[in-house]
Amino acid sequence: MTDIAAIRAAAARLAPVAVRTPLLESPFLDEIAGRRVLVKAECLQRTGSFKFRGAWSALTALPDDARARGVLAYSSGNHAQGIACAAQMLGVPAVIVMPSDAPALKLANTAFYGAEVVTYDRPGGESREAIGEALCAARGLTLVRPYDEPMVIAGQGTVGLELAAQAREAGVTGADVFVCCGGGGLSAGVALALEAEAPGLRMRPVEPEGFDDMARSLDGGARVANPALSGSICDAILTPSPGEITFPILQRLAGPGVAVSDDEALRAMALAMLRLKITPEPGGAAALAAALRPGMGESPVIAVVTGGNADPAMLIRALETL
């Protein structure tokens, strides 16, 4: 069970190692949106995404014997790097199960952080769960899920704690807070933190068009799945369906979801580079894309830029839209 006490405890464990990412503004973005836009630049976090927070929170919450045996994660993306980096810093053995056809850069980055990378034949239909379960059983590893994991949600919630304090310092007490949303771990953690610390701020999940399972699930009152798992450049937030643990939290606390197009995400990436001097990845820019839509009201809006692990070709593609 994740609650505000768990988030505060995670914040204390993260304080010595996490970046307190800044809340940035630019009048050029305000002009586009027609209102004040504030951006939590979480792409500046260790490993280039908020995932480090949840990983550190989960690993530091393990009993000593489980830490000594090690952890396992399935991921080809930011969760893999978050777990690998946190594990390396803590001296915890980490096994990351990745598809053998994952981008070479992602395989190399994960291995760079000292994790043992085990690949599986995704196109050939090999089951990562079967491989992972066998490894966990044989070595006593603890599986760390990317979002349906209370201590991961608690870690992600520390983004919301910081945001509550930073918004107050910026004089913002009422605003929508757009958060890029995959399985909902960050969204749920942020929503819980804002409920306790900044009740005038409302979390709203942002997803890619065609992959807005969370928005549709919130609308319909029950978890529904996406029709596919590829087809948007926002790969970091393409997940099968809302999490079992995250969804009830979001049903209680989230505002309506928003879906953005790939073109909107690319333009938001470009504007973030030009005006805020940060480099989001496409899925990390989705919330900013939603916040930049004009004619959506006059109260301030906050966007969390959740990750920055784009490859150079994608950054160039975004810059060429300017």
Please report, as ranges, the residues that interact with a copy of itself according to CB under 8 A. 16, 19-22, 24-25, 27-28, 41, 43-44, 46, 48, 85, 112-113, 169, 270, 273-280, 308, 312, 315-316, 319-320, 322
To the nearest whole angstrom, how small is the minimum distance from the Cβ of residue 299 to a copy of itself? 21
Please calculate the CA angle 253-152-234 and round it to the nearest 5 degrees: 75
Q: Which helix (H) or strand (E) covers residue 204, if one does?
A: strand 201-208
To the nearest whole angstrom, how small is the minimum distance from the Cβ of residue 248 to a copy of itself? 33
Strands 71-74 and 142-143: parallel
Residue whose tokens read 């109260």: 299
- Three-state DSSP class for residue 98: strand
Q: Which helix (H) or strand (E) covers residue 41, if one does?
A: strand 37-41
Residue 312, classified by CB atoms within 10 Å of its CB into exposed (0-12), middle (13-18) or buried (19+), is exposed
Nearer to a copy of itself, 157 or 280 (CB): 280
Q: What span, in angstroms and rounded, lies between the C-alpha atoms of 271 and 266?
A: 9
Q: What span, in angstroms and rounded, lies between the C-alpha atoms of 112 and 126?
A: 25
Q: Which two tokens stand for residue 99?
A: 């598809």
Nearer to a copy of itself, 242 or 284 (CB): 284
Nearer to a copy of itself, 4 or 17 (CB): 17
- Three-state DSSP class for residue 133: helix
To the nearest whole angstrom, how small is the minimum distance from the Cβ of residue 122 to a copy of itself? 26
Q: Which two tokens stand for residue 200?
A: 């005038």
Q: Which two tokens stand for residue 259?
A: 């879906």
To the nearest whole angstrom, how small is the minimum distance from the Cβ of residue 273 to a copy of itself? 5
Q: Cβ of 170: how many Cβ atoms within 10 Å?
A: 15
Contact present, 206 and 287 (Cβ < 8 Å): yes
Nearer to a copy of itself, 56 or 120 (CB): 56
To the nearest whole angstrom, how small is the minimum distance from the Cβ of residue 12 to a copy of itself? 15
Nearer to a copy of itself, 45 or 75 (CB): 45
Q: What span, in angstroms and rounded, lies between the C-alpha atoms of 193 and 181?
A: 16
Nearer to a copy of itself, 16 or 221 (CB): 16
Nearer to a copy of itself, 182 or 284 (CB): 284
Contacts of 44 (CB under 8 A, 6+ apart): 19, 21, 22, 278, 308
To the nearest whole angstrom, how small is the minimum distance from the Cβ of residue 242 to a copy of itself? 28
Q: Which two tokens stand for residue 41?
A: 């630049």
Nearer to a copy of itself, 131 or 276 (CB): 276
To the nearest whole angstrom, how small is the minimum distance from the Cβ of residue 313 to a copy of itself? 8
To the nearest whole angstrom, how small is the minimum distance from the Cβ of residue 279 to a copy of itself? 5
